[in-house]
Structure 1
Amino acid sequence: MNTATKKIAVVLVGTGLLYLFGARVYDTQQSTKKPRRMHARGRVITVEVVKSHLGYIQKDLLLTGPLKAKESVDVSPHSQGRVKELYFNVGDRIEKGTLIATLDDEELQQQVNRAHASILVTGATLIQRIAERQNEQAELERATQLFKEELLSLRDYDTHKTGIAVINAQVELAKAQKQQAEAQLLELEIRLSRTKIYSPIRGIVANRYVDVGALVSPSVAVIRVVNLTTMVTQGNVPERDIGRLRIGTKAVVQVDAIPEHVFTGKVARISPVLDAATRSALIEIDIPNSRNLLKAEMFTRIALQLGSTREALLIPRESLVHRGEQPGVYVVHADKPTFQPIEIGLARENHVEVLANLAVNTQIVGRGAAMLREGDRIRFKNKENVEQEKLRREKNSAVLKGPNPLMSEFI
C-alpha cells in the first residue's frame, strides 16, 4: 500500500469517526430537548368553568376599624415585690384562676411565723389571766363571808374587791391582745396570698412584660391575657342611618389579612349619644371567633345589612384568587387560563361583587382556581362549558377590560 492510499484510508476513518460523534451529540441534544418541551406545556389541572353573572346584593352601610379582643386584661400584682417564678410565655393558653407568677415571699413567711407564735403567747396569757381571775373570785367570796361575820376588816375586803376588778381588766386585755395577734396574722396571710398572681380570665397570653427577678408593683403589669373567642370592632354610624340600626343587626366582616374568609357578627351596643362634631353614633359589633383566625388589631371592613338590595356583577367565591394583594380571576382561553386583575366590592358567603375589569357572562375558572399557576393548562370538569368554550373560540371573543359600566358605584 503506497503513501497516497494510506492517506485516503486515514481520511475515511477520521470522517467516519466524526460522523458517529456528531450523531451521538445530536441524539443527546434531542433527548434533553424533548422533556423540556413537555415541561414547557405545564401541568394539566381539572377545574370547573363558571360564568360571571348579574345578581342582587344587599345594600350595606360600610364601616372600617381595627379588631379588639372583647376581654383583654393587663394582670398586675396586688403588692410590690420581686418576681420569683413566671409560669407562662406569649401564646400560651391559660384558664381563669390559673397561677401566673409568684413574688418573693420569704420575708412575709417569716412574719407569718412570728404572728403564729404571737397568737400562742397571747393565748397562753389569756388562759393564765382567766385562772387568776377564778382564784381571785374564790378569795373574794371567802372575804365576803368573813366580812359578814365581822372577822375581816373593811380595808381588807375592799382590797379583795379591787383585786378582782384588776384581774377582770387583765383578762379583757389578754383577749384584746389575742384578737390583735389574730388580726395581724390574717393581714399577713392576705399579703402572703397576694404574692401569687392569678389570671382573672380565660384566654391567651398576648404580652409578657417582665422576667424573673424584676421588681413589680400594682402599677406594673406582668402579662396581658386576651380572650379571642369573641372579637369586637367599633364604628361611627351617621345620624341618617342610625335609625335603621337595631341591637342584633347582622354585620358581614372582611379582614384584609384573611381575604378568603368572610365573618359574621351582630351589633351589640349602640351609643345613645351622638358626637356633636361628626353627627354620628358609636356602635360596637361582636364577632364570634371560634377558630381563632382573627387577631387583635387586624383591620376590618364591615358591611351592616340594612335591608335594601341592588344589582351587581357577581362571581363565585372559589373563583377569586390573589396575587400578592391584587385580587383577580382566571379567564378561560382555550385550555389555558389567564389571570385577570379585577376590583372587588362586597363579599358574601358564596359570591363576591366585581366592580371593574370583568364583563358579564365571562367564562372563568371556578372550583380549582386556587391550584392554578402560570403556564398551567386546564381540563374541564363540567362538559357543558367545553361546548361553550368552543363557541367562544369560534367567535374569538375577548375579555372586556377597564371599568365595568354596570358597576360604577360602590356603596
Structure 2
Amino acid sequence: MDILLNTAPAAVHTTGDTKKMKVLIAPACTAIAMVIGWFVYEQSLQDTKTAPKTIITEPIAVQVTRSTQKNLEKRITLVGNLEAGSQVEIRTRYSGYIKSMPFDVGDQIKAGEVILELNDSENQELVSKSEAALTVAKAQLKAQITSQELAQKAYQRLLVLQKSGVSTKQQMEEALASMAIEEAQTELEEARVEQAESDLEQSRLRLLENKILAPTNGFLAERLVDIGDLAKPDVALMKIVNLDHVRTVVHIVEKDYEDVKIGQKAVITVDTFPGRTFNGHVKRKAPVLDPQTRTAAVHIEIPNSDFSLKPGMHARVQIVFEHRHKTNVLPIASLTRRKDGPGSAVFIIGGNPPITEIRNIEVGINDGELVEILSGINAEDLVITLGNRLVDEGQTVTPIEVPMDEVLQAPSPIPQKTNL
C-alpha cells in the first residue's frame, strides 16, 4: 500500500517536465533556422556582387568586295508620258455631208491618200455653170473682136478718103472715137473671159477639195464623225498621228539645269516592254524655269521605226550627263563620312585577325548604284559594302567577300551573331 501511494506522485511530476521541454524547443529551432537563412542570404548576396559577368562575343560579320573597272555614266531618272511626234487635226474648208471615209481608227495612212470625201453634187453643178459662163464670155469676146475690126477698117477707109479731100474732119473724129470705144469694149470682154475662167478654176478646186487628202504619213488616231454627218469648217473630223518618232516632256530641277545639254543621250524604258531600252536625245530645253515648281521642261525625242512606242505610255527617262570608260568603281552603299571633316571615306579590312580601318577617298561621278573612285584605295583592298553602319574603326570583324557583280545584283543581309 505504501509503495503504491509513493510512486503515483512521481509519475505525475515526470510528465509535466516533458511538456515544458517541448514548449521551449520549438521557438529555439525557429530562431536557429532564421539565423542560418539570413547568413545564407547575406553570403549569396555578397557572392553575387563580387562575381564577374562573363560575355563571350564573336566578331561581327560584314560583306566586303574589291574595286573594279566599269563604264560609268552620271545620269538622272525622270518620268513623263509619251506623245506622238506630230499630230494633225483634219478639217474641211467648206460645209458638206460626208460621202465616204475609207480609213478607220488604227489604220496606217500615207500622205496624199483620200481619207474623207464630201457629197459633190452641188459642186458639180457649180462647175457646169462656170463652164457655161466661160463659153458665153468667149463668144461675146469673139463678137466684140469682130466689131472692133470693123471699126478699124472704117477708120482706114476714111484715111484714104481724107487724102482725096472727100471725108470731113467730123467723120474722122467720129471714126476715131468709135474705134476707141470698140477697143475698150474688147478689153472688157477679155476681162469677162478671164473672170469666167477664174470662176471655173475655183469651182473645180472646190470640187477637188471635197476629197480630203492625208497631209502626212501616220495612223488614224481618232475618227470624230461618220458617213452622213455634216462636216463644217469649225469641227474637227479626225486626227492623224505620226509615229516615226515619239517624244516626251520631262521636268528637271534647278540644280540639274546646267547639266542638261541639247543633243545629250537619253535612255527610255516603258512598262509594256520590260527589260528593253529605247535610245533618244534631248531635242529642246526651256529657257526659263517655272517659278512655282523651280523646274524646266526638257523635250526628249525618240526614234520609233517599228512603231513599238505609243502615245500615252508612261516612260522613265534617264538623261546621261557624263560618261567614264573603264574607271575604278565601288558600290555607293560602301561610302561613309570622314572623321576629319566633309568628304567621303570607306572602311578597309586588313590584318590578321581582320580589323577595320577608315580610309579617306576622292570620288567622282555616280549613277545611283556605283561611284567613281579617283584616289584613296588600291585594287587589292577589301572594302566593306554591307555592315559599314555597324562597325567602328579598329574593330575586329569577320569579312565575307562577294564579287562586285553579285553585290549589285542581289545584296544579301549579313547575319549578326552574339553569344552571351
1:158 to partner: Cα distance: 3.1
1:224 aligns with 2:239: yes
Structure 1 residues 7-406: aligned runs within 5 Å: 58-307=73-322, 311=330
Deviations 1:295-338 (A, max 9, x none): 1011111111223787559xxxxxxxxxxxxxxxxxxxxxxxxx
Moved more, 153-162 or 226-235: 153-162
1:83 to partner: Cα distance: 0.9
Q: 1:295 to 1:346 in 2, by over 3 A?
A: farther
1:249 to partner: Cα distance: 1.4
Amino acid at match of 1:262: T
The alignment's C-alpha RMSD in Å is 3.2
1:54 to partner: Cα distance: 10
1:400 to partner: Cα distance: 5.0
Q: 1:86 to 1:156 in 2, by over 3 A?
A: same
Amino acid at match of 1:218: P
Q: 1:273 to 1:76 in 2, by over 3 A?
A: same
Quick one: distance in 2 between partners of 1:308 and 1:120? 75
Q: 1:200 to 1:401 in 2, by over 3 A?
A: farther
Quick one: distance in 2 between partners of 1:290 and 1:111? 45
Deviations 1:199-233 (A, max 9, x none): 11111111111111111122222221111121100
Quick one: distance in 1 between partners of 2:247 and 2:177? 75
1:131 to partner: Cα distance: 1.4
Deviations 1:58-83 (A, max 9, x none): 44212111000111111112222111
SS in 1 for 2:289: strand
Amino acid at match of 2:127: V
SS in 1 for 2:75: strand
1:287 to partner: Cα distance: 1.3
Structure 1 gap segments, 5+ residues each: 1-52, 314-344, 348-359, 365-398, 403-411
SS in 1 for 2:275: strand
What TM-score comes out, normalization by structure 1 length?
A: 0.61
Quick one: distance in 2 between partners of 1:120 and 1:138? 28
SS in 2 for 1:166: helix
Quick one: distance in 1 between partners of 2:243 and 2:83? 9
1:401 to partner: Cα distance: 7.7
Which of the two has higher C-alpha Rg? 2
Quick one: distance in 1 between partners of 2:331 and 2:135? 85
Quick one: distance in 2 between partners of 1:149 and 1:175? 37
Q: 1:203 to 1:62 in 2, by over 3 A?
A: same
2:19 counterpart residue number? none
What TM-score comes out, normalization by structure 2 length?
A: 0.59
Amino acid at match of 2:221: A
Quick one: distance in 2 between partners of 1:106 and 1:151? 64
> What is the aligned-residue identity percentage?
33
1:89 to partner: Cα distance: 0.6
Structure 2 gap segments, 5+ residues each: 1-65, 333-366, 370-401, 415-420
Quick one: distance in 2 between partners of 1:237 and 1:70? 21
Number of residue equivalences: 276
Amino acid at match of 2:122: E
Moved more, 168-177 or 260-269: 260-269
